[in-house]
């Protein structure tokens, strides 16, 4: 899944029981509209890669996270919701995120994921970041930005929650593709 010049950008979005639907699917949709190849990877050794999202929606992942460890992605984006704890507990995902950071590739999280997945594993630097407002107390050691809906800190992108998912997706399209592509997607979405 490593991308080569001229090929679509490869994106991994891990999903688990309890993942917030809007954050996973809205971001995946925006990135797909931006021409990226999005892979939904199920976390938690699920039968047929089917997870039950936070509001009860069942979503089938494309692949299990265990099968992604040796693959390369231009972006790994972690959605939040109660399922963020499952992402935190996935050794495979954390290994991939740490490698992503070391290699200077994009990664990020929305809602609970910055506080629950990224921060505890040393994936948020002391620079700016945001998260779901109720997780503010967990954002120790970072420049917490409660009034910013999407925060870019070098290759780490964080966002606040379901209501900021499309905005985050558009920022990711801008960063990985171009501002023009992001504007075209935004126009098509009537944003």
Write down the catalytic residue from 68, 78, 111, 177: 111
Class of domain 10-188: alpha beta
**What is the pLDDT, as a whole number, of residue 48?**
93
* Structure confidence by residue, pLDDT tens digits, 15-72: 999 999 999 999 999 999 999 999 999 999 888 999 999 999 999 999 999 999 999 9
Long-range residue pairs from 45-53, CB within 8 A, at least 24 positions apart, any chain: 46/17, 51/15, 51/16, 51/17, 51/19, 51/83, 52/17, 52/18, 53/15, 53/17, 53/18, 53/19, 53/20, 53/21, 53/24, 53/81, 53/83
The pLDDT confidence band at residue 2, using thresholds 50, 70 and 90, is very low
CA-to-CA distance for 98 and 123, rounded, in angstroms? 7
Q: What is the pTM of this model?
A: 0.96
Annotated catalytic residue 111: yes
Query: To the nearest whole percent, how much of the chain has pLDDT over 70?
Result: 97
């Amino acid at each position: 899944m490593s991308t080569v010049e001229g090929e679509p950008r490869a994106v991994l979005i891990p999903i688990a029981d309890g993942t917030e639907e809007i954050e996973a699917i809205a971001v995946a949709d925006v990135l797909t509209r931006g021409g990226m190849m999005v892979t939904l990877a199920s976390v938690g050794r699920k039968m047929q890669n089917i997870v039950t999202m936070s509001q009860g929606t069942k979503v089938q992942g494309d692949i299990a996270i265990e099968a992604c460890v040796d693959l390369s992605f231009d972006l790994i984006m972690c959605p939040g919701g109660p399922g963020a704890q499952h992402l935190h507990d996935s050794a495979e995902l954390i290994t991939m995120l740490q490698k992503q950071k070391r290699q200077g590739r994009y990664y990020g999280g929305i809602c609970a994921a910055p506080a629950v997945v990224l921060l505890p594993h040393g994936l948020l630097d002391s620079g700016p970041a945001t998260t779901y407002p109720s997780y503010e107390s967990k954002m120790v050691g970072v420049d917490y930005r409660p009034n910013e809906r999407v925060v870019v800190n070098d290759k780490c992108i964080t966002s606040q929650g379901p209501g900021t998912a499309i905005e985050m997706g558009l920022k990711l399209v801008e960063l990985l593709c171009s501002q023009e592509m992001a504007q075209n997607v935004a126009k098509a979405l009537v944003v």
